[in-house]
Chains A and B, each alone.
Chain A
Amino acid sequence: MSERSLVPFDTAIERYDPVLGLEVHVELNTATKMFCGCPTEFGADPNTQVCPVCLGLPGALPVVNAKAVEAAVRIGLALNCSIAERCRFARKNYFYPDMPKNFQTSQYDEPIAFDGFVDVEVEGTDGQPVTVRIEIERAHMEEDTGKSLHVGGSTGRIQGADHSLLDYNRAGIPLIEIVTKTIEVEPALAPLVARAYVAQLRELMVALDVSDARMDQGSLRADVNLSLKPTGSTTLGTRSETKNVNSFRSVERAVRYEVTRHAALLDAGERVVQETRHFHESDGTTSAGREKSDADDYRYFPEPDLAPVAPDPAWVEELRGTLPEAPELRRRRLQGEWGFSDLEMRDTLGAGALDLVAATIDAGVAPQSARKWWLGELARRANDTGTDLAALPITPAQVANVQALIDAGRINDKLARQVFDGVLAGEGTAEEVVAARGLEVVSDDGALGDAVDRAIEANPDVAQKIRDGKLQAAGALIGAVMKEMRGQADAGRVRELILERLG
């Protein structure tokens, strides 16, 4: 289908109601894998974090990671779910080279957590905040697959590749899959709600400290299911499943795009194909993946190699006591503590910056300064590179270091931007970047004095105005000095020196 034939979103939602479903996979941050003792660290050399169990060697057997069960229960509780008193793992059978056993050990009809909800807040069409309740169908435990790298061919997919490389380091990493019930909201809000839900899940996972929840590294992955039905109808349409959308912004764009694509098909009297789709970051479109049908048969059956998991109710209650503050309560508390306006707070949340700002403030930065950097300078850079803020290679502690240099008068706001450049480019700490790039503000009176003298000499008219008492004219001379010093002059000291000479 060509771009031209898409129906604009606003037109589409006049005729159709979108029905959403979100499946989010969360990679747990346990030290070891779901069913063996292999480490889970990200980024190790291929096939160095494997053993007979996660390679599926003949004879090897799984053993459930108790820490993963604990994380699953805490996630379930945080999602307001009921926790199963007894549940089993199940085998999901299908063949794929990056799946060592050719079945995935997952949960089927007995998830560890079920029937929960989360409330998310988005900006309504009238600009007022709207709270939407997302019902959670289930959260279940499973293992991740390995990774395939398809070499050659044009698409990077297995079809048409010359050969494929397999890395089993990820095979067996514990995952929690969180599945919503169908979500039906005011049509115009659907993309925002999807985004806000995923952002809130991420916030929750970080608060629970159960996952790195990095969408760019795949430790939090969202599949967006979407179908349209004619406005007011109760019959569900055919859905598409857009897989592994890897940023909040992309979640929103994927919903938006699929609405326009489905609407175009339906308008033309064509059939929506039930299939998986791939989202393309570059242009915000999706393309067809594998056709799915209800005939897909994974031949689930209870995993005979594992005993059922039966969380002791007393233990579950104990875990309930360890849950962090509910996100909405925390947001309200922080807004009060920081003195943010509703708009400032909503922008902070929308940018997925709440935890980053909080951590920066905890590191000693004034709330407004912390907000200014993350939502200004850094948000712009994230946008430029199409990533989420959290994925930028800079930590709240590093931002705090930059602010500390400003507060000490060693750099100014303008220089700070260059320091961020350096830190983001991996040139080291803020301190190291300042040293290496020679960015420190010059407040040495000798060097500044010479520059001031040259500025006075070059601008006799301005100098005369200052002598005549028009002190605001000093700005022009300060600007000249700053220009000569390539922005590295201490502006306050320059002003003092000018006034000493002309005052």
Chain B
Amino acid sequence: MHQLSAADLAQRLSSGEVTSVEATQASLDRIAAVDDRINAFLHVDAEGALAAAADVDARRAAGESLAALAGVPIAVKDVLTTIGQPTTCGSRMLEGWVPPYDSTVVAKLRAAGLPIVGKTNMDEFAMGSSTEHSAYGPTRNPWDTSRIPGGSGGGSAAAVAAQQVPLAIGTDTGGSIRQPGAMTGTVGVKPTYGGVSRYGLVAMASSLDQAGPVTRTVLDAALLHEVIAGHDPRDSTSIDAPVPAVVEAARRGDVAGLRIGVVRELHGSAEFGGGFQPGVRQRFDEVVELLTGAGADVVEVSCPSFVHGIAAYYLVMPSEVSSNLAKFDAMRYGLRVGPEGVPAPSAEQVMAASRDAGFGDEVKRRIILGTYALSSGYYDAYYGSAQKVRTLIARDFAAAFEDVDVLVSPTAPTTAWPLGEKLDDPLAMYLADVATIPANLAGVPGISVPAGLVDGLPVGIQFLAPALADDRLYNAGAALERLVGTTTLEEIA
């Protein structure tokens, strides 16, 4: 049963062929069987999930009309608050913290009747591209457990790829849904900024963060997208507009006549720094041919400011990080340690000691970077300039979307790399997000769709669309999925 897509499972739940309790138990059994090799989960809530499942079963038996995905088990990245389950953000700082409130995304999942089986591993506070920066040990890629699953949402991606759950929620600040999707052969969507409420999403960078679906099929992603999207009065940055018709688009999956732009700057050519694995480039070229063959009108477009994306991102993001993470001060919740050898420490000393003990190196690196970038005298040169680059990138997108309906690129420059390979080289790690970052900076939506394997490892293709046109992603993604087939893991390696 664990191999079923969410749509298929929902169909069987609806027909009465299986119960949600059975489906949820199957998910829990699969987690118990394989997660010691994957470490996708930081917390599993069997009791809560089964109770939610039983409730859905009872309501279904009573003839209530239920949401499309009611009864389908799901996992949630540990950066979204959940009543009754810890929310650690992969950090020692929040070890054991159980929030008193549900994030809006989680509240919507509960309202739609999806049992939440657990919370998934992630780079600490979503900072990283490999899930190695989790304080609770790295998550391993089910395709090759000696390799990383991508990050920061490696837990959600690996859990879905390893068929522990059919659905998961991720969050994407610079690629943390899409890049792990590419690494694990799963579908990952970053919706339009403001399309899904951030209320209860523990912020890394407020102006970039966005929660979205992690699934094995494009249709599943669309079904989940519909559950979690929509205006939320608790989030001032949430957009008050109808949710695009994503499910309909995912069912359509037709690129005939669709204008698709290949972004020159995201093609990995030597002209723009190279660094793309030849196999990934080759697979991308094949995909372009497949799309053309299916009737798409593929052209090359240029987005010249994209080359500054990483530089701008690594100023804006850490700036917001330095402020967003200030609240972790040991005064009200979370880790509290006293400085060593100080008998009666001051509040300030306790704050400093707790932050030193509670945060990992990557988090500290970004707090320091951001503090510097915002400081008086440097603000204009760093934060100010980065904001200007954001504007330029948004203009590049706007100009490109005058000519094409969607943009396409490889999701990531490489396939999954061996654990530890880039741990001591932050800049190499940051480059893993070169193709995904522009969407976050401009607030436009993106999807990563599996496109088969290179040397036994999954490759992802990314589509990008204008803000509020998320449906175009699902249409193009579903078309590609039909052309190449889903990338299904047979056995954890």
Tell me whether B80 and A97 are in contact (CB under 8 A): no
Which one, A186-194, A304-312, A346-354, is touching chain B?
A304-312
Tell me whether A57 and B100 are in contact (CB under 8 A): yes
Contact with A along B228-249 (1 / 0, CB 8 A): 0000011111000000000000
- Interface residue A338 (Cβ < 8 Å from any Cβ of B): no
- Interface residue B207 (Cβ < 8 Å from any Cβ of A): yes
How far does the Cβ of A44 sit from chain B's closest Cβ, in whole Å? 19
- Interface residue A93 (Cβ < 8 Å from any Cβ of B): yes
A300 to B198, CA, bound (A): 23
Of B94, B205, B374, the residue contacting A93 (CB under 8 A) is B374
How many residues in A have their beta carbons less than 8 Å from beta carbons of B?
30
Could you say which residues of chain B place their CB within 8 Å of the CB of A301? Answer: 319, 323, 374, 379, 383
A337 to B203, CA, bound (A): 60
With A101-B327, A301-B383: A61-B319 Cβ-Cβ less than 8 Å: no
Q: Which label, helix, strand, loop or mixed, suits the secondary structure of the A interface?
A: loop
Contact with A along B313-329 (1 / 0, CB 8 A): 00000011011001111
Tell me whether B236 and A63 are in contact (CB under 8 A): yes
Tell me whether B371 and A97 are in contact (CB under 8 A): no
- Interface residue A31 (Cβ < 8 Å from any Cβ of B): no
Tell me whether B199 and A97 are in contact (CB under 8 A): no
- Interface residue A239 (Cβ < 8 Å from any Cβ of B): no
Of A59, A158, A299, A305, the residue contacting B376 (CB under 8 A) is A299
Tell me whether B236 and A64 are in contact (CB under 8 A): yes
Tell me whether A101 and B202 are in contact (CB under 8 A): no
Could you say which residues of chain A place their CB within 8 Å of the CB of B200? Answer: 59-60
- Interface residue A340 (Cβ < 8 Å from any Cβ of B): no
- Interface residue B89 (Cβ < 8 Å from any Cβ of A): yes
- Interface residue B223 (Cβ < 8 Å from any Cβ of A): no
Could you say which residues of chain B place their CB within 8 Å of the CB of A395? Answer: none
- Interface residue B473 (Cβ < 8 Å from any Cβ of A): no
Of A56, A57, A95, A306, the residue contacting B348 (CB under 8 A) is A95
Of B233, B236, B375, the residue contacting A62 (CB under 8 A) is B236
How far does the Cβ of A38 sit from chain B's closest Cβ, in whole Å? 13
- Interface residue A263 (Cβ < 8 Å from any Cβ of B): no
- Interface residue B393 (Cβ < 8 Å from any Cβ of A): no
Tell me whether B94 and A58 are in contact (CB under 8 A): yes
- Interface residue A100 (Cβ < 8 Å from any Cβ of B): yes
A63 to B328, CA, bound (A): 21
A300 to B235, CA, bound (A): 22
Tell me whether B347 and A97 are in contact (CB under 8 A): yes
- Interface residue B206 (Cβ < 8 Å from any Cβ of A): yes
Interface residues of B in 46-77 (CB under 8 A from A): none
- CB-based nearest B residue for A55: B332
Tell me whether A59 and B81 are in contact (CB under 8 A): yes
Could you say which residues of chain A place their CB within 8 Å of the CB of B199? Answer: 59-61
Tell me whether A304 and B320 are in contact (CB under 8 A): yes
- Interface residue A182 (Cβ < 8 Å from any Cβ of B): no
Could you say which residues of chain A place their CB within 8 Å of the CB of B233? Answer: 63
Contact with B along A164-183 (1 / 0, CB 8 A): 10100000000000000000
Q: Which of A56, A57, A59, A103 has the most CB of B within 10 A?
A: A59
Tell me whether A59 and B99 are in contact (CB under 8 A): yes
With A91-B323, A101-B327: A61-B207 Cβ-Cβ less than 8 Å: no
Could you say which residues of chain B place their CB within 8 Å of the CB of A93? Answer: 322-323, 326, 374
- CB-based nearest B residue for A164: B347
A307 to B237, CA, bound (A): 6
- Interface residue A285 (Cβ < 8 Å from any Cβ of B): no
How far does the Cβ of A399 sit from chain B's closest Cβ, in whole Å? 45
How far does the Cβ of A146 sit from chain B's closest Cβ, in whole Å? 10
- Interface residue A82 (Cβ < 8 Å from any Cβ of B): no
Tell me whether B351 and A304 are in contact (CB under 8 A): no
- Interface residue A443 (Cβ < 8 Å from any Cβ of B): no
How far does the Cβ of B201 sit from chain A's closest Cβ, in whole Å? 6
How far does the Cβ of A309 sit from chain B's closest Cβ, in whole Å? 10
A100 to B332, CA, bound (A): 8
Contact with B along A87-110 (1 / 0, CB 8 A): 000010101010011110000000
- Interface residue A297 (Cβ < 8 Å from any Cβ of B): yes
Of B87, B205, B237, B383, the residue contacting A58 (CB under 8 A) is B87
With A304-B320, A305-B206: A95-B351 Cβ-Cβ less than 8 Å: yes
- Interface residue A52 (Cβ < 8 Å from any Cβ of B): yes
Of A58, A63, A103, the residue contacting B99 (CB under 8 A) is A58
A57 to B199, CA, bound (A): 11
Tell me whether A101 and B326 are in contact (CB under 8 A): yes
- Interface residue B331 (Cβ < 8 Å from any Cβ of A): yes
Tell me whether A59 and B202 are in contact (CB under 8 A): yes
Tell me whether B376 and A61 are in contact (CB under 8 A): no
How far does the Cβ of B108 sit from chain A's closest Cβ, in whole Å? 15
Q: Which of A52, A166, A300 has the most CB of B within 10 A?
A: A52
- Interface residue B430 (Cβ < 8 Å from any Cβ of A): no
Interface residues of A in 143-173 (CB under 8 A from B): 158, 164, 166
How far does the Cβ of A487 sit from chain B's closest Cβ, in whole Å? 58
Tell me whether B236 and A102 are in contact (CB under 8 A): no
Contact with B along A51-75 (1 / 0, CB 8 A): 0100111111111100000000000
Tell me whether A102 and B327 are in contact (CB under 8 A): yes
Tell me whether B374 and A299 are in contact (CB under 8 A): yes
Tell me whether A57 and B101 are in contact (CB under 8 A): yes
Tell me whether A97 and B331 are in contact (CB under 8 A): yes
Could you say which residues of chain A place their CB within 8 Å of the CB of B100? Answer: 52, 57
A56 to B332, CA, bound (A): 9
How far does the Cβ of B234 sit from chain A's closest Cβ, in whole Å? 6
- Interface residue B417 (Cβ < 8 Å from any Cβ of A): no
- Interface residue B401 (Cβ < 8 Å from any Cβ of A): no
- CB-based nearest A residue for B205: A304
A158 to B327, CA, bound (A): 20
With A57-B101, A59-B200, A100-B327: A299-B375 Cβ-Cβ less than 8 Å: yes
Could you say which residues of chain A place their CB within 8 Å of the CB of B348? Answer: 95
Contact with A along B72-96 (1 / 0, CB 8 A): 0000000011000001010000100
A164 to B348, CA, bound (A): 12
Tell me whether A58 and B329 are in contact (CB under 8 A): no
A160 to B234, CA, bound (A): 41
Of A61, A164, A299, A307, the residue contacting B322 (CB under 8 A) is A299
A64 to B233, CA, bound (A): 10
Interface residues of B in 267-314 (CB under 8 A from A): none
With A52-B101, A305-B236: A299-B351 Cβ-Cβ less than 8 Å: no
- CB-based nearest B residue for A53: B234
Interface residues of A in 268-325 (CB under 8 A from B): 297, 299-301, 304-307
How far does the Cβ of B59 sit from chain A's closest Cβ, in whole Å? 29
How far does the Cβ of B211 sit from chain A's closest Cβ, in whole Å? 11
Contact with A along B328-346 (1 / 0, CB 8 A): 1101110000000000001
- CB-based nearest B residue for A101: B327
Could you say which residues of chain B place their CB within 8 Å of the CB of A59? Answer: 80-81, 87, 99, 101, 103, 199-203
Could you say which residues of chain A place their CB within 8 Å of the CB of B237? Answer: 304-307
Could you say which residues of chain B place their CB within 8 Å of the CB of A307? Answer: 236-237
Interface residues of B in 94-125 (CB under 8 A from A): 94, 97, 99-101, 103
- CB-based nearest A residue for B201: A59
A306 to B203, CA, bound (A): 13
Tell me whether A58 and B89 are in contact (CB under 8 A): yes
Could you say which residues of chain B place their CB within 8 Å of the CB of A164? Answer: 347
- CB-based nearest B residue for A62: B236
Tell me whether A158 and B347 are in contact (CB under 8 A): yes
A433 to B45, CA, bound (A): 64
> Can you list 10 pairs linking A and B with CB atoms under 8 Å apart?
A58-B202, A59-B81, A91-B323, A95-B326, A97-B331, A102-B326, A158-B347, A297-B375, A301-B379, A304-B237
Known pairs A55-B332, A58-B99, A59-B99; list 8 more (Cβ under 8 Å): A61-B236, A63-B233, A93-B322, A100-B332, A101-B326, A103-B326, A164-B347, A299-B375
Query: Which 5 residue pairs are nearest across A and B when measured between Cβ atoms?
Result: A102-B326, A299-B374, A304-B206, A304-B207, A59-B200
